[in-house]
Amino acid sequence: MIIRGGIVYDPSNGIFGEEMDLFIDRGKMVEEARGEEIDASGLLVMPGGVDAHAHIAGKKVNTGRIMRPDDSRLGTEPRNGVCRPSTGYTVPNCYAMGYRYARMGYTTAFEAATPILEARHTHEELQEIPIIDKGALTLFGNNWQVMECVRDKDLSKLAAYVAWGLRSARGYGVKIVNPGGGESWGFGTNVKSVNDPVPNFDVTPAEIIRGLAQANELLHLPHSIHLHFNNLGKPGNYTTAIETLDLLKDIKPSRMRQVVHVAHMQFSAYGGTGWRDFESKAPVIADYFNSHNHATMDMGQLLFGSATTMTADAPLEYGNARLTHNKWSNHDIELEESSGVVPMIYSRKMLVNAVQWAVGLELALLVDDPWKVLMTTDHPNGSPFVNYPEVVTLLMSKPKRDAEMASMHEQLQKRTGLGEIQRELDWADIAIMTRAAPARILGLPDKGHLGPGADADITIYNLKPEELDTSQDHSLVKKAISTAMYTIKGGVVVSKDGKILCTPPGRAFWVDAAVPQADTDRLMPDLQEKFAKYYSIQLSNYAVQDAYLPHANVIRAGLSIEPLQEVA
C-alpha cells in the first residue's frame, strides 16, 4: 500500500508536518512498495494511537457493567455484516472497545491493572476486543510474596517472583496500586504515608516501591514500574507524590526509559487540608517533572458527565461511595490485592470536580517536555476514552478552555492557575503524547512511529493542518479527530469514515523474563506453602495457559547473572 501526499507527524523520526509518501509491505513500514494507493494529499497523517493506561478488561470492568444497567443502554449499535452488537458508554462491551478505538485512529491499548489470580478472565476479554493490539499490567504492590521478599531484603527472590508472576499472568509489566494500602484494607485500615507499616508484614510502602523498582531494573523489563500513589484522590496528596518520586530518583534504569511511570497524575496533584479549601497543586508537580528525568506521567484527565470509577485501591473507592452515596462494590483478591467500583457523575458546577478538570490540563500544559506526559482519561475513571478528542482540543485551544471555565463554579479561578496559562499545544505535541511517547514509555519499539520496520498502524484524519487554526477552529478539530478518515492496522484498512470494514483479532503482548534457576528453586517452596494454606485454587490451576493468548507477541527480558545487591 502507498499513502500519497499526507502531512505526516512522526516525532520519533524527527518528522513534524512534512508532506511525504508512506509505503507499507506485509504489515510493516518500508522505504518502497507497490500496491493500492490512498490519496492523503494535504491531510493529517500520524501513527496509530497508543493508549498506555485504560481499564478495558477484567473482573472489575465486568463488575462495572453489572452495576450500570443504565450505562449498557447507551451507545448501542446493532450487529451488521462485519460488527457484533455494541453496548455501553463508560463500560462498553468488548466489541465496542475495539470498534471505538479504531474509529478514533487508535490501534493499541493496555489494560492498566490485573491481579495474577484473575488474569485468565482478563485475557478472555482482551481476546474478544477486536482490531487493536493489547496487553495487561500485573498487580504486585500488595502481594504477600512481594512484601515478604522486600521485608527479608531478598532482591533476587523478589525478581524471581516478579518474573514468575508475569509469566503466570501473561502480563506485560509491574503495576503498583496504593502499595501496602490494599493489604491494610483487609484489616479495616489504610496506609496514610509511604512510611506507615503494613499490618503483619513489617514493611512500608516506601520499601515496597523501591524493592519492586529495583527488581524491575534487574529484570530489564521493557516498561518501568507503573505506579498509582498512596493517598490518591485526597486533598493535600501532592506532598505524598513528591515524597514518593524522590524515593526513586537514585535508581538507574536498565533501558533507555524512565524509572517510574505515574498513573493518572491528576488524581495526585491536589492541595488543601480538606474539601473546603481543595485546590490545584499542578504547578508544584510540573516543576518537579521539569527538573527531574526519572519519571513520566499520564494525565488521567477528568471530564464532566458520567464515569465509572474502578481501581485496585479499595479504600479509595470506599471513600468515594461514602462521599457520593453511590453504589459501591468491594473486592478482596486473596493474597494479592483489593479493588472497588463506584459509578460517578462529575458536574461542572461542583467546585471540586471543576478543580479536578483543571488540574489535568495544567499538568499537560506546564510540563515543558511532551515526552513526559501521556494524554489519558484513566478510562473510565476520569471519562470514557471516546472523549479523547475533547481533551485534545482543550490542550490546543486557550479560547476553548476559557469558554469552558466561564461555565463553571465561580470560585474556580481562585483554586487553579489554568486561566493564566497561554500555552496551546500543536500537532507535534499531540502526536508525541498520543503516539510516540506512550510507545516509548511502554517499551514497544515497533509502535508509535512510521519508520522502516515499524508496525503499519496509521491514522489519516480528514483535516488539513496547514489550513486550520487549531486555536480558533477547535470544533472542526474535534469533529475530525473523533472519526478518522482512515485507520490502518497492520497494513489493513480497518475503518473508513467511521465505518468498520474488518475486524482482525489484534495481538496480545506479554513479557517472559528469565532468572537464574537457583532463585526460582528458592521461591517455589514459599509459593507451594501459600497455595496449600491460603489460596482457594491449586498452584497447578493458577497460571494462564497459552491457549488464552492465541495471538501472543512474547517479549523476552531477563536478569543479569552478575552478583545481586540487596534491597536498599
Q: For the chain, give the percent of residues with pLDDT over 90.
A: 97
For residue 116, pLDDT beyond 80: yes
When pLDDT is cut at 50, 70 and 90, the band that residue 310 belongs to is: very high
Let me know: does 194 contact 206? Beta carbons within 8 Å. Answer: yes
Average pLDDT for the chain: 96
- pLDDT(567) > 60: no
Under DSSP, is residue 287 helix (H, G, I), strand (E, B) or coil? Answer: helix
| Domains of the chain (ranges, CATH numbers) | 45-500 (3.20.20)
Mean pLDDT to the nearest integer, 65-74: 92
Q: What value does the mean pLDDT take over residues 147-169?
A: 98
pLDDT confidence of residue 560: 54
* pLDDT exceeds 90 at position 11: yes
Q: Which three cell numbers stand for residue 489?
A: 492496522
The average pLDDT across 227-242 equals 98
pLDDT at 419: 97
- Cα-flanking dihedrals φ and ψ of residue 332, to 5°? -115, 125
pLDDT for 45 beyond 70: yes
Contact 409, 418 (CB under 8 A): no
Confidence of residue 417 (pLDDT cuts 50, 70, 90): very high
Given a cut of 80, whether residue 113 has pLDDT beyond it is yes
539 or 560: which leads in pLDDT: 539
How does DSSP classify residue 83? P
Q: Is the pLDDT of residue 568 over 80?
A: no
Asked whether residue 192 carries a pLDDT value surpassing 80, the answer given is yes
pLDDT at 559: 73
Mean pLDDT, range 481-505, rounded to an integer: 98
Please state, in angstroms and rounded to a whole number, the distance separating the CA atoms of residues 135 and 122.
Answer: 10
DSSP code at position 259: S
Q: Report residue 67: phi and psi, to 5°.
A: -75, -15
